[in-house]
Chain A
Amino acid sequence: MRALLELRERLKAFYGRYTSVLSIILKFALALGTYLFINMEIGYSSVFTSIFAVLIMALLSSILPVRAIPLFSAALITIQAFALGYDAGAIAFMVLLLLLILFLRFVPEDSLILIFLPVALYCGAPEVVPVCFGLKKKPLTVLSVGSGVVVYYLLDMLHRAPDILKAYGASDYAKRLQALAGGVFGNSEMVLNLLTLAGVLILVCAIRKLSFNGSWLAAVIIGSLFYPVLILLGDMALGTSHSLIVLAAGAGVSAAAALILMFFIFNVDYRKSEYLQFEDDGYYYYVKAIPKISVRKDDRKRKQAESPEQDELPPMVEKSPVNQTDLEKKLEDSLNHLS
């Protein structure tokens, strides 16, 4: 555990030191992965499927805010759909614009959900996204989760579109439009996934806010199990089918990813919880304070100086929830250097 805590501190320090460079590299990797995924699913335009175009878009995305990635992705999807046919392009454009106007403009900070959810759905472990993001985001994030599901099924429909449209002539516009629009909106599996994943997110948000010990862990476990159970119930009701092994693996992956995330953002020692009670003129306060688990810097130095055979671990220390960095003092010091 101690080694993990040290690793976490080192990673944090490393990220803090190279934030600007790492942020560009990470954005580039994320954008590249996203655009390649889209092109793998619906690579109809030879120009935009070429690695050149993808690299240029990824490079541009790396210097722009993260929210540029979903916007570029939406543009790429629309272009690829237009390359397939005007009808497919029109449907893709309308669906994406609808999502943007109705839902996404209320949650502009949730770009990562929109990027990860279609990929997670493709990999068969979609619950990993609402479980992980539910630990940090607000219930309103449900709008992004829903939009991510629709985007995945739009991609899926465009992927199958050549087969769907094969049955109709090029001038059967009405039939083609119906087949394409029905491919997105008439998909009962999409509705099932949308409702289930939205439910997972709301459940995780609600449970992790409860004050009992281990509420975050409970949120992760319940959220990860909720999805496969509801999907199986949905299968029975709708007559669809999902592999039990894939569902179980998805739940496992989701729980593992959320536990790793928890280690970084919510690593506390419940055994040292303190319950405080005090009052002022207007209120009584019942406060539960849980210390964060952390490794003190001098402990690390001491450990390095000691022999490697030493088995006994230095004590874990609790860190006050209040940020103890004295910014004022730092500023004072730097000003002294200036003058």
Chain B
Amino acid sequence: MVNQARLKVMIRLAEYENGEGKKALEIRKYYRSDYIAMDMIKTFFLTTVAYVLLLGLTAAANMDYLLDHIDQMDIRVLLTWLILIYAVMLGVYLAVSYFRSSARYKNARKSVKEYEENLEALDDLYRRKKG
């Protein structure tokens, strides 16, 4: 015979696993520090790629100016500026990534809490039946 109480909890658990809890459960597989570090490493590589693309597009848009003035440019000053802009851009994106992933982890923890309580309730129901 169908155990209604158990079925109710199981439906709630399945609903969460396939709906709003999908992402939260994925995030909760990691430790907080690991999750944040992973997101920041991804951001580091993506920001670097974006910076190179941005540099390429800027150079393409100002090709005439670059070709005319390349011999008059102080390469050391130019490189300093390029590195400085890269550092600022990277810093901003890494900070955004840190705060974003921390908030996500916090929200996931809050969201999974109720799910874990339901799991415990289901476990209790099984034990009660065995006992």
Contacts and interface: CB of A to CB of B under 8 A. Distances in A.
Interface of A: 91, 94-95, 97-98, 101-102, 105-106, 174-175, 177-178, 180-182, 184-186, 331, 335, 338-339
Given A97-B53, A335-B7, A339-B4, A106 B96 contact: yes
B2 interface: yes
Contacts of A331: 8, 11
Interface residues of B, number: 23
Contacts of B62: 178
Nearest to B3: A339
Contacts of B46: 101, 105
A182 B61 contact: yes
A178 B65 CA distance: 10
Interface string B1-24: 110100110010000000000000
Contact of A175 (B1, B4, B50, B63): B63
9 contacts: A97-B53, A175-B64, A177-B63, A180-B60, A184-B61, A185-B61, A186-B61, A338-B2, A339-B2
Interface of B is mostly: helix
A180 to B, nearest CB: 8
Nearest to B5: A335
B50 A101 contact: yes
Given A331-B8, A335-B4, A339-B4, A98 B57 contact: yes
B54 A98 contact: yes
A326 to B, nearest CB: 14
A93 to B, nearest CB: 9
Nearest to A185: B61
A185 B57 contact: yes
Interface string B99-122: 010000000000000000000000
A105 B7 CA distance: 39
Contacts of A106: 96, 100
Closest 10 pairs (CB-CB, A-B): A181-B61, A181-B60, A178-B63, A101-B50, A177-B60, A182-B61, A101-B46, A98-B53, A185-B61, A335-B4
B91 interface: no
Contact of B8 (A177, A181, A335): A335
Contacts of B100: 106
Interface string B44-78: 00110110011011101111100100000000000
Contacts of B96: 106
Nearest to B8: A331
A335 B1 CA distance: 12
A42 B90 CA distance: 35
Given A91-B57, A106-B100, 12 more contacts: A97-B53, A98-B53, A98-B54, A101-B47, A102-B50, A174-B63, A175-B63, A177-B60, A181-B57, A185-B58, A331-B11, A335-B2
Nearest to B96: A106
A56 to B, nearest CB: 29
Nearest to B4: A335
A13 to B, nearest CB: 22
A89 to B, nearest CB: 13
Given A101-B50, A106-B100, A177-B63, A94 B56 contact: yes
Residue in B56, B62, B63 with the greatest tally of chain A CB atoms within 10 Å: B63
Contacts of A181: 57, 60-61
Nearest to A93: B53
A110 to B, nearest CB: 15
A270 B60 CA distance: 56
A68 B70 CA distance: 43
A178 B57 contact: no
A106 B104 CA distance: 12
B8 A178 contact: no
Contacts of A335: 2, 4, 7-8
Nearest to A336: B4
A102 B90 CA distance: 11
A118 B118 CA distance: 46
Contact of A95 (B1, B57, B63): B57
Contacts of B54: 98
Contacts of B64: 175, 178
